[in-house]
Amino acid sequence: MLHNVKDNYITSVKNHVSHFEEKSFRKLASNDFKSWPSPREETWRLSRLGILSRKELTPIIPNFKKKFTSSSQFNGSKIIRFVDGALRADLSSKLPPGTSLDTLDEEDSLKCFNKFKDSNLKNHPSINVSFSCTPSIVKLTIDKGLNIRDLFEIIYEGGDDNLSVHPALYIELKENSSITIIERFNHLSSLIMPLQLVELKKNASMNSLKIFNDNQQSYNLSANCAFLSDKSNYNSFSLIKGGLFTRSETHAYLKGENCNLNLNGVYLSSKNQHHDLTTAIYHDVPNCTSKQIVRGVLGGKSTGVFQGKVRVAPDAQKTDGQQMSRAILLSENAIANAKPELEIYADDVICAHGATVGEIDNEQIFYLKSRGISEKKAKQIIITAFLKDIINESVEEAMQNFVFEEAELALSEIISKEI
């Protein structure tokens, strides 16, 4: 009986794509979805999907009449809105010249699908399910030599109980272009499986900020794949605070010399939430740098996971790859897991990783109390500084206050119950 329950969603996905042609990218993707990841799989051992696999779920049919009123957090930003996983051009802004937002045809969708299947993300459940069920793959293109001054806000909304949502976005920055994008995940659905492919051409630069704040009972399994060319720069920061179970997995491939990657994040977990930041960085060529800084604050019976892998290929000399994860436990029932990993096949590199998990430093509390500060206030100051440090380092100055205010909303709930 349990086996049949676990197969229900697989059957729902196959039924969803049954009317498409056998050689379509949707049918190819659905054929690859044979089971949920097992806890025996090393990358899913700390984030188990047993409860999710037993849920009665159905892929959503987008409702193009739905209206949402969440507005921009920044004056003058350009909004791109997805509702029920579908692009809503009628609820989005007019984009500046030199940028285009298109839905891919079957041929280009298949090419996009194959880029994922050629990566090490190919067995991620969101790859197969969302390529099967997405309303369409949307591509945002920034023309060669274009430096976008406007902030782009991508808002993902919609969904409902017992339904799964499948937005798919492909971002291409052509040579010498740049953009700053903030993405906000505000779904009401039971399961969200976002896909994102980023390609940065020579000397392109992208600043990315992701805020995960879905419904408190939702599962978000985000899969992201990035390819960096010569002298490109990708600066990504994720703030995970919503959802019952949120896993953001990013695989980045440094394919061109002298490119730079920052893949940082914060998770704020309370009650029985599970938050997971999993990354894999592949240094395939010489003279590239990458940095991962992850910090977590956990209360209640929550769990947090950081899994970070850096792989340096034999020819990738002069690589500089750094990882550091730190987590503060505010409850004796909270658990933080860290699994940094280096896989190095070159000999002229600078690579390091580290991880710490523990309570607030008693010496720091004592120092502040000796200055007349109460213990509760002292802990608040220490935690605030712990988060501000990484936010200030990772996020553009113009957005630092916004990110910290978003973090404070979740942090205040944790602190009020644990301190």
Domains of the chain, residue spans: 2-418
Label residue 5 by pLDDT band (50, 70, 90). Answer: low
Predicted local confidence at residue 384, as pLDDT: 92
The whole-angstrom separation of Cα 166 and Cα 129 is 8
Predicted local confidence at residue 412, as pLDDT: 87
Residue 362 predicted with pLDDT over 80: yes
Beta bridge partners of 341: 309
Predicted local confidence at residue 1, as pLDDT: 39
Tokens matching residue 179:
């953009």
The whole-angstrom separation of Cα 187 and Cα 155 is 10
Beta bridge partners of 342: 310
Predicted local confidence at residue 71, as pLDDT: 72
Provide the CB-side half-sphere exposure for 357 (13 A, CA): 15
Contact 238, 265 (CB under 8 A): yes
Contact 30, 132 (CB under 8 A): yes
Residue 376 predicted with pLDDT over 70: yes
Report the chain's mean pLDDT, rounded to a whole number.
Answer: 94
Tell me the DSSP string of 30-49: HHH--SPPPTTSGGGTTS--
**Amino acid, res. 14:** K
Compute the average pLDDT of residues 60-73: 81
Tell me the per-residue pLDDT of 174-198, one tens digit each, with 9 for 90 and over. Answer: 999 999 999 999 999 999 999 999 9
Residues with Cβ within 8 Å of residue 61, at least 6 apart in sequence:
84
Dihedral angle at the C-alpha atoms of 111, 114, 118, 124, nearest 10 degrees?
A: 130
Compute the average pLDDT of residues 287-300: 97
Beta strand 137-142 with 99-103 is antiparallel
**Long-range pairs for 376-380: beta carbons < 8 A, 24 or more residues apart:** 376/419, 379/415, 379/419, 380/415, 380/419
Predicted local confidence at residue 299, as pLDDT: 95
- Residue 247 exposed, middle or buried by CB count within 10 Å (0-12, 13-18, 19+): buried
* Lowest-confidence pick of 59-73, 118-132, 218-232, 284-298: 59-73
Label residue 227 by pLDDT band (50, 70, 90). Answer: very high
